[in-house]
């Protein structure tokens, strides 16, 4: 029988894809791609856009189209057989990607096309980006330097894996067995049930606390026993270090030093002054000075307010609970008490106002008003589970009659179920690809883990879940509304990391405005809107301790950026020296000397955020500043919505991100709107 993953036209035939197809399909497609690429790279004299770049885009898309449903099914319909097939393919795919990045003939081909005339701006951008990525993978280095570059690459991936492994082992090694339930006073039922379940799984009576987040977080937030909080805090804050209950057993100290040294050396091999500069080569921020000024500005405006946030909790803990001095292991606990007292709001209270059908209809109405698009459900499209729904997006003057131009399609998989990965995300199913021989409409997966319907009650969402839906939908529109013809710079591909969260965080704003909230909510029994008193409380609770949270994010971002920017081989990483300086600058409450936060900062030592943690704040500033134009002109202002669609959503990575932003906003972004929305400035 034919393998449905090979040469499949259109949407994936989910009902026919079986685990045994996966490896064969990947092997076949990789072999076929390698042969085609070899022929292209060596045969085209001279290479042109039409005979070289376009075929390469098509070749890349064939593989993506086959792999997308596999990695998607692995996430949403996991089984042992599928997982094994998926894992078997990962090294093959990453090996192939590395091979392409190092392919000198391909590089020369791109370089030759880039010198030719008659290319449009999108084509130029695609070539620039490709040449940049070739350079960053070391393909144009002299042979001895290239050898060293590859050696460093391998060492870095080994060290990152070791860092993560140490952290995991240290996290798993500690637990606390509790015999007397009185020690758990204050913990909500869900946290106790988890602790009991862990004990049962280990054949123990009583309760077991661990350092995994679902166990750690409720202890810090709710446990009345201060000594217990102190003990758990210390175990958590010293993981994988030379201190704490497992001192020295999984110490990441030397690994961090080595990682910083190698990143610095590798950046210099490529001609950058340091790794922070290397990181910015692929980002929207234009210089290390710009990032440092950006973080410094935010700090300057929020640190005083963060100190007042802390003072407020300190005062509350003193007067209401007789606490002498607030320590780091008290902060979350008394903050939560203060929050409950002041706003008395829970996610459950809002749930009845957000039946999923009402939320979706409202969301689509908001999107139509803003972006002039019609979203309609299509029945009978083959999917992977009965809960999944399928929608199409049409745009254009006569879309109301159903004849508008088909711009994109998406699957929505809304509910949690066994064998489905947690969290929420948007992923690409099909790219937009438009050439003389091919016209592919983009398609996306929107995946959430909402509470499924109970009995004959429809699924009721929390406000946090509504925010999630809007967020993922923002990513989805960025992929689906693209007008860029080539996948390499269309949709979200080619959008710099620090700008990719712009559409998603931007769309969340409509979950907070009365005008749009009324469209997406209505009481499940009566259809009544959210009462004004509840609405006011929900707005106020949103900004509780926002300055303190900002200060915390700035601490991480400044620390991350500075250790990469200021690295000096003669002086080493100075990791805790720099962290201390940053804390003096921005942290309202200084952690104790034993705190080894950096030893567990896997975002930057084992993940992709090195010299890039600032991106979280950068994207928030963009989305708040973009939304402020709607505050000026009307929350549902059509002209402003159309402009966002035209300049941001349709352009993908086909232009410089800052140029696109300025085209929409009329100027470069400022931090004012973010500070104002967070209640940090008036
Ligand atoms: Zn996101």
pLDDT recorded at residue 396 = 80
What distance in angstroms lies between residue 508's CA and the mean position of ligand 1's atoms? 11
Q: How far is the CA of 136 from the centre of ligand 1 (A)?
A: 25
Say how far apart CA 98 and CA 136 lie, in whole Å.
Answer: 12
Distance 472 CA to ligand 1 centre (A): 6
Q: Which helix (H) or strand (E) holds 434?
A: strand 433-434
Asked if residues 59 and 438 have their Cβ atoms less than 8 Å apart, the reply is no
CA of 153 to the centre of ligand 1 (A): 28
The whole-number pLDDT of residue 403 equals 63
Dist. CA 630–CA 644, nearest whole Å: 10
Measured in Å, residue 369 CA sits from the centre of ligand 1 at 23
**Spatial CA neighbour of 259 closest among 40, 575, 28:** 575
C-alpha 108 – ligand 1 centre gap (Å): 35
Number of Cβ atoms within 10 Å of the Cβ of 204: 15
What is the DSSP track for 341-377?
HHH---HHHHGGG-BHHHHHHHHHHHHHHHH-EEEEE
The Cβ of residue 575 has, within 10 Å, a number of other Cβ atoms equal to 19
Please tell me the number of Cα atoms within 13 Å of 598 on its side-chain side: 29
- In the reported structure, the alpha carbon of residue 500 is separated from the centroid of ligand 1 by a whole-number distance in angstroms of 8
> Which one, of 193, 185, 166, 173, lies nearest residue 229 by Cα?
185
Confidence at residue 398, expressed as pLDDT on a 0 to 100 scale: 59
Q: β-strand 405-415 against 443-450: which pairing, if any?
A: parallel
Task: Give the integer Cα–Cα distance in Å for 494 and 614.
Answer: 19
Query: What pLDDT is recorded for position 383?
Result: 98
Q: What is the pLDDT of residue 1?
A: 66
Active site residues: 472
10-residue mean pLDDT profile of the chain (682 residues): values are 86 96 97 96 88 95 96 95 96 93 94 95 97 95 94 94 94 96 94 93 95 92 97 98 97 98 98 98 97 98 96 97 96 94 83 96 97 96 97 79 84 93 94 92 96 88 95 98 96 94 97 97 96 92 94 98 98 98 97 97 94 96 98 96 98 97 98 95 82
Distance 621 CA to ligand 1 centre (A): 14
Q: Vertex 234, ends 231 and 236: CA angle to 5°?
A: 110
Which residues sit opposite 394 in a β-bridge? 374, 406
Distance between Cα 505 and ligand 1 center (Å)? 7
Distance CA(255)–CA(251), nearest Å, equals 8
Distances in Å between the Cα of 27 and the Cα atoms of 12, 34, 74, 93, 456 are 19, 11, 18, 10, 47
Kindly give the distance from the C-alpha atom of residue 572 to the centroid of ligand 1, in angstroms, as a whole number: 35
pLDDT attached to residue 347:
77
DSSP-derived 3-state class of residue 189:
helix
Strands 405-415 and 389-395: antiparallel
Question: What are the C-alpha distances in Å from 170 to residues 166, 239, 548, 605?
Answer: 6, 6, 29, 16
The predicted pLDDT at position 401 comes to: 62
Q: Is the dihedral of CA 397, 398, 402, 405 positive or negative?
A: negative
CB 652 within 8 A of CB 478: yes
Q: How far is the CA of 471 from the centre of ligand 1 (A)?
A: 6
Q: What is the pLDDT of residue 381?
A: 97
Distances (CA, A) of 10 to 26, 63, 413: 18, 14, 19
């Amino acid at each position: 029988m034919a393998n449905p993953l090979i040469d499949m036209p259109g949407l994936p035939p989910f009902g026919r894809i079986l685990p045994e197809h996966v490896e064969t399909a990947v092997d076949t497609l990789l072999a076929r791609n390698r042969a085609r690429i070899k022929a292209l790279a060596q045969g085209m004299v001279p290479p042109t856009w039409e005979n070289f770049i376009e075929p390469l885009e098509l070749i890349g898309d064939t593989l993506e189209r086959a792999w997308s449903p596999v990695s998607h099914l692995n996430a949403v319909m996991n089984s042992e057989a599928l997982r094994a097939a998926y894992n078997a393919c990962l090294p093959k795919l990453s090996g192939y990607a590395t091979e392409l990045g190092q392919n000198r003939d391909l590089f020369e081909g791109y370089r030759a096309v880039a010198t030719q005339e008659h290319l449009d701006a999108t084509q130029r951008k695609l070539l620039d980006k490709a040449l940049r990525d070739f350079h960053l993978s070391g393909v144009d280095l002299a042979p001895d330097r290239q050898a060293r570059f590859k050696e460093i690459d391998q060492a870095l991936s080994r060290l990152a894996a070791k860092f993560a492994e140490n952290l995991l082992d240290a996290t798993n090694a500690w637990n606390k067995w509790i015999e007397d339930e009185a020690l758990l006073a204050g913990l909500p039922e869900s946290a106790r049930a988890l602790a009991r379940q862990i004990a049962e799984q280990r054949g123990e009576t009583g309760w077991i606390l661990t350092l995994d987040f679902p166990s750690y977080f409720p202890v810090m937030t709710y446990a009345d026993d201060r000594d217990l909080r102190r003990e758990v805090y210390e175990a958590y804050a010293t993981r994988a270090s030379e201190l704490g209950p497992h001192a020295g057993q999984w110490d990441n100290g030397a690994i961090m030093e080595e990682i910083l040294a190698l990143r610095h050396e590798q950046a210099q091999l490529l001609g950058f002054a340091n790794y922070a500069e290397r990181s910015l080569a692929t980002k929207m921020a234009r210089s290390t000075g710009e990032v440092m000024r950006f973080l410094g500005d935010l700090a300057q405006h929020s640190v005083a307010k963060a100190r007042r946030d802390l003072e407020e909790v300190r005062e509350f803990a003193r007067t209401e609970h007789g606490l002498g001095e607030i320590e780091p292991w008290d902060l979350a606990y008394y903050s939560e008490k203060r929050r409950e007292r002041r706003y008395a709001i829970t996610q459950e209270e809002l749930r009845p106002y957000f039946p999923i059908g009402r939320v979706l209809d409202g969301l689509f109405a908001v999107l139509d008003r803003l972006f002039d698009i019609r979203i309609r459900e299509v029945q009978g499209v083959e999917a992977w589970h009965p809960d999944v729904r399928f929608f199409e997006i049409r745009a254009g003057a006569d879309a109301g009659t159903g004849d508008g131009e088909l711009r994109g399609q998406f699957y929505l998989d809304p509910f949690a179920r066994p064998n489905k990965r947690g969290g929420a995300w948007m992923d690409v199913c099909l790219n937009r690809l438009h050439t003389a021989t091919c016209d592919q409409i983009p398609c996306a997966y929107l995946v959430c883990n909402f509470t499924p319907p109970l009995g004959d009650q429809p699924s009721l969402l929390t406000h946090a879940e509504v925010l999630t839906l809007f967020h993922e939908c923002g990513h989805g529109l960025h992929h689906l509304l693209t007008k860029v013809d080539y996948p390499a710079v269309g949709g979200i591909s080619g959008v710099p990391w620090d700008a990719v969260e712009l559409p998603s965080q931007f769309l969340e704003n409509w979950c907070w405005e009365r005008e749009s909230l009324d469209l997406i909510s209505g009481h499940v029994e009566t259809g009544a809107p959210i009462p004004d008193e509840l609405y006011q409380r929900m707005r106020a609770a949103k900004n509780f301790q926002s300055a303190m949270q900002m200060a915390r994010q700035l601490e991480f971002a400044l620390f991350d950026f500075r250790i990469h920017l200021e690295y000096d081989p003669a002086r080493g990483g100075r990791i805790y020296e720099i962290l201390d300086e940053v804390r003096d600058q921005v942290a309202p409450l200084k952690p104790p000397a034993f705190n080894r936060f950096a030893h567990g900062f896997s975002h930057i030592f084992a993940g992709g955020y090195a010299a890039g943690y600032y991106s979280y704040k950068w994207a928030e500033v963009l989305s708040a500043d973009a939304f402020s134009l709607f505050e000026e002109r009307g929350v549902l202002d059509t002209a402003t919505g159309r402009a966002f669609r035209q300049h941001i959503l349709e352009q993908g990575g086909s232009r410089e991100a800052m140029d696109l932003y300025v085209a929409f906003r009329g100027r470069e972004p400022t931090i004012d709107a973010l500070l104002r929305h967070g209640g940090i400035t008036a």
